[in-house]
């Protein structure tokens, strides 16, 4: 592991301090840094190798992401099936995925050199949009696939099938289909369950369902879920809250477990429950 790719959320003040320090650390320990182009703008005089963001995963053995969970989500989708591990450092707010603090970055890199970090594999979702039998687009997501009405739309009607069998219909503001990783994101705020992040499962959580008996449900990740839009109004499909696609009446969104998996690095002692206690104040009155 000699090439370290670096992506930073450049509008964070801390990024301008941490990135030069990281380049110094790489030089001292014989690692070759590869910077995402915008990140390279934080230290233009270093002459470090810089590439466009989509090309970064293919040119790195490790990716260090400095920012918030949104920054890490965008990188995870780019990694795809390359399997490059990601070390997330939180420069933002909540930070479930970017669980390391800035102060923990360099101890974590030293621990990595000693092979003391744990790699967690997280499942991803693959979403495919079809219109009148024609495949229009395909996406992957680490957190969630969300179908939701626009700001001015009324309640939308959705029909959900699992493994080709009709499961239920929803009259709601939308539907969240999340991974266990995404269960602590949008799904949690919509009343969904917290699912241990390394499990292989899919969570369906309706958003403000018109029928109070429509509750979140957890499915095996091996099952394919199809959602068909029955309403003729403005509806969006969003992936990880970052990529969007406008749906039309009759469109079908098929969601299944992706072949690719995201590999996240963490300290052995920083397990999921310690993150829950820190981020959600679990167990506090």
CATH code at position 187: 2.60.200.30
Residue 236 lies in a domain: yes
Min mean pLDDT across 46-55, 78-87, 123-132, 138-147 is at: 46-55
Do both 174 and 243 map to the same domain? yes
Residue 274 lies in a domain: yes
For residue 167, the model assigns a pLDDT of 97
For the domain that residue 17 is a member of, what is the CATH number?
3.40.50.10330
Alpha carbon distance 237, 259 (integer Å): 21
Alpha carbon distance 36, 48 (integer Å): 10
Do both 7 and 93 map to the same domain? yes
Query: Is the per-residue pLDDT at 55 higher than 70?
Result: yes
Q: Which residues contact 225 (CB under 8 A, 6 or more apart)?
A: 160, 161, 162, 177, 202, 204, 219, 254, 255, 256
Do both 12 and 84 map to the same domain? yes
| Each residue's pLDDT tens digit, 7-36 | 999 998 899 999 999 999 999 999 999 999
Do both 179 and 198 map to the same domain? yes
* pLDDT (mean) for 188-197: 95
| Each residue's pLDDT tens digit, 96-111 | 888 889 999 999 999 9
Query: Is the per-residue pLDDT at 164 higher than 90?
Result: yes
Residue 36 lies in a domain: yes
Residue 50 lies in a domain: yes
Secondary structure of residue 97 in the 3-state scheme:
coil
CB 41 within 8 A of CB 11: no
- Give the residue numbers annotated as catalytic, written as ranges: 69
CA 141-236-54 angle, to 5 degrees, is 40
* Short-list 206, 205, 202, 207, CA closest to 218: 202
Do both 158 and 109 map to the same domain? no
pTM for the full predicted model: 0.93
Do both 41 and 143 map to the same domain? no
Residue 47 lies in a domain: yes
For residue 285, the model assigns a pLDDT of 64
* 253 CA to centre of own chain: 19
Do both 112 and 15 map to the same domain? yes
Do both 135 and 251 map to the same domain? yes
Alpha carbon distance 240, 269 (integer Å): 28
* pLDDT (mean) for 35-60: 92
* Short-list 259, 200, 221, CA closest to 82: 259
Q: Which domain holds residue 60?
A: 3-117+267-280
Residue 149 lies in a domain: yes
Do both 141 and 252 map to the same domain? yes
| For the chain, counts of helices (H) and of strands (E) | 6, 17
* 155 CA to centre of own chain: 27
CB-count burial class (<10 Å; 0-12, 13-18, 19+) for 195: buried
Do both 100 and 31 map to the same domain? yes
Q: Which two tokens stand for residue 257?
A: 């477990």
Do both 56 and 107 map to the same domain? yes
Number of structural domains in the chain: 2
- Higher pLDDT among residues 48 and 21, named by residue: 21
Residue 285 lies in a domain: no
Do both 29 and 56 map to the same domain? yes
């Amino acid at each position: 592991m000699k090439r370290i790719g670096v992506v930073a959320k450049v509008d964070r003040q801390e990024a301008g301090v941490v990135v030069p320090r990281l380049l110094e650390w790489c030089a001292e320990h014989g690692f070759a840094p590869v910077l995402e182009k915008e990140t390279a703008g934080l230290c233009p005089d270093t002459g470090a190798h810089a590439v466009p963001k989509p090309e970064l995963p293919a040119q790195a053995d490790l990716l260090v992401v400095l920012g918030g969970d949104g920054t890490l989500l965008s990188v995870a989708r780019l990694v795809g099936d390359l399997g490059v591990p990601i070390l997330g450092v939180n420069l933002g707010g909540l930070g479930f995925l970017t669980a390391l603090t800035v102060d923990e970055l360099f101890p974590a890199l030293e621990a990595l050199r000693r092979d003391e970090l744990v790699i967690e594999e997280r499942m991803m979702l693959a979403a495919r949009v079809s219109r009148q039998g024609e495949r229009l687009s395909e996406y992957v997501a680490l957190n969630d696939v969300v179908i939701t009405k626009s700001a001015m739309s009324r309640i939308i009607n959705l029909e959900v099938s699992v493994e080709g069998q009709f499961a239920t219909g929803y009259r709601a503001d939308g539907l969240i289909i999340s991974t266990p990783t995404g269960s602590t994101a949008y799904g949690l705020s919509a009343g969904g369950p917290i699912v241990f992040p390394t499990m292989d499962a899919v969570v369906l959580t309706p958003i403000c369902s018109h029928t109070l008996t429509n509750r979140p449900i957890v499915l095996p990740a091996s099952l394919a879920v199809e959602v068909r839009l029955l309403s003729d109004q403005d509806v969006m499909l969003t992936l990880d809250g970052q990529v969007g696609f406008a749906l039309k009446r009759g469109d079908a969104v098929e969601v299944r477990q992706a072949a690719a998996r995201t590999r996240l690095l963490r300290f052995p002692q920083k397990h999921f429950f310690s993150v829950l206690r820190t981020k959600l104040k679990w167990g506090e009155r």
